[in-house]
Amino acid sequence: MSQTTVSYKDEHIYEFTPDLEPVYTAENGESLTIETIDSLDGTIQENTDILDAIPEEVNAATGPIAIEGAKPGDVLKVTIEDVRVNENRGRVVTAPGFGLLQDHDDIEHPLTRITPVQNDSIEFEGLNVEIKPVIGTIGVAPATESYTTLVPHDHGGNLDTTDMTGGTTAYFPIFQEGAMLAMGDSKAAMSDGEMCGTGSEIGTDIDVTLEVVNDPPVSLERPLVETENEWKTIASAETMETAVELANRDMVELLKREHDFEATEAYMFSSLVGGLEISQVVDPLVTARDAVPKEYLSNPF
């Protein structure tokens, strides 16, 4: 059975706004393939192609895709079946004013390293790195504010979270009719933290199934992911302290409900299992998550 492909060539956005118009409307439960271009729009193809500055438009997100029946207060369930790289090279770059070590004299800005794809790996300076794709930017139309695709927030966006990959189910709060999902900014590989400001940026084909959870029993304020073994809350904020506070607070609410705990007991339990993880430390807001193994938390929806 063939499924519809929505490509960045059809439509893509550089800003998540409250009033997005869909390029495609999916049925509730429909499976789609989403084609994405690399976060730098194909401008970096050789080591001599460098970034003097972060371009005004980055992280082209394919979409927006409306989902029938999605209304504010519902939850969008995105089952990510597979993420495949669709070109023969990725690229890692530094750029002035960007990245964790941007002020260190011995770290060169800008610099580009092309990472050729060889079977299941990319190659960096003679070293092979297994391809583990990551969808860097994925989100829905926000409530009132607009956010460029460089910014992560409660709607998702530039989350740069390694769990956004095949086998994960991602959940987003729905703020607008139709939800208006868009995604792009994939990497062939990326570390937690994304310290230099990029992973191996690359185009991908992403298989997803889109479902609406109508009138969910839990109100979701920020993205949540279900991986093979864990549930993880995801939060973005100006500081890492605030991001981890929000992620932990969201997890406390889930643990309270699951185990009939008081808030303090849920808080204490969150300090016993799973734990905090860094998504990225380089975007305008930083992103963190709080993980709890599935044996202690069931599907809240």
CB closer to Ca ion, 133 vs 136: 136
The full length of the chain comes to 301
Cα dihedral 283, 18, 178, 180 sign? negative
Beta carbon of residue 54, minimum distance to Ca ion (angstroms, whole number)? 11
Beta carbon of residue 194, minimum distance to Ca ion (angstroms, whole number)? 7
Q: Which stretch binds Ca ion (CB under 5 A): 64-72, 133-141, 170-178, 218-226?
A: 133-141
Q: Which stretch binds Ca ion (CB under 5 A): 67-75, 115-123, 128-136, 257-265?
A: 128-136
CB closer to Ca ion, 40 vs 247: 40
Beta carbon of residue 137, minimum distance to Ca ion (angstroms, whole number)? 6
CB closer to Ca ion, 35 vs 160: 160
Strands (E), 59-150: 61-67, 75-85, 89-94, 111-118, 121-124, 127-130, 134-139, 147-148
Beta carbon of residue 39, minimum distance to Ca ion (angstroms, whole number)? 6
- Which one of residues 149, 158, 162, 204 is an interface residue with Ca ion (CB under 5 A)? 158
CB 103 within 8 A of CB 229: no
- The b/e string for 147-181 (b: 16+ C-beta within 10 A; e otherwise) is bbbbbbbbbbbbbbbbbbbbebbbbbbbbbebbbb
- Which one of residues 35, 160, 163, 290 is an interface residue with Ca ion (CB under 5 A)? 160
The HSE-up count of residue 181 (CA atoms within 13 Å, CB side) is: 30
Beta carbon of residue 151, minimum distance to Ca ion (angstroms, whole number)? 10
Q: Which stretch binds Ca ion (CB under 5 A): 69-77, 93-101, 156-164, 237-245?
A: 156-164
- Residues in region 196-235 near Ca ion by CB under 5 A: none
Beta carbon of residue 152, minimum distance to Ca ion (angstroms, whole number)? 8
- The b/e string for 198-236 (b: 16+ C-beta within 10 A; e otherwise) is bbbbbbbbbbbbbbbbeebebebebbbbbbeebbbbbbb
For position 136 contacting Ca ion by CB under 5 A, the verdict is yes
Beta carbon of residue 149, minimum distance to Ca ion (angstroms, whole number)? 8
When CB distances to Ca ion are compared, the closest residue is 136
The percent of the chain in helix, strand and coil, each rounded to the nearest 5, is 10, 40, 50
Q: Which stretch binds Ca ion (CB under 5 A): 73-81, 152-160, 234-242, 269-277?
A: 152-160
Contacts of 46 (CB under 8 A, 6+ apart): 112, 114
How far apart are the C-alpha atoms of 32 and 50, rounded to whole Å?
Answer: 34
Backbone angles phi, psi at 86, to 5 degrees: -120, 20
CB closer to Ca ion, 59 vs 270: 59
Beta carbon of residue 214, minimum distance to Ca ion (angstroms, whole number)? 31
x/- contact string, 13-42, with Ca ion (CB under 5 A)?
Answer: ------------------------------
- Chain positions contacting Ca ion, by CB under 5 A: 136, 158, 160, 185
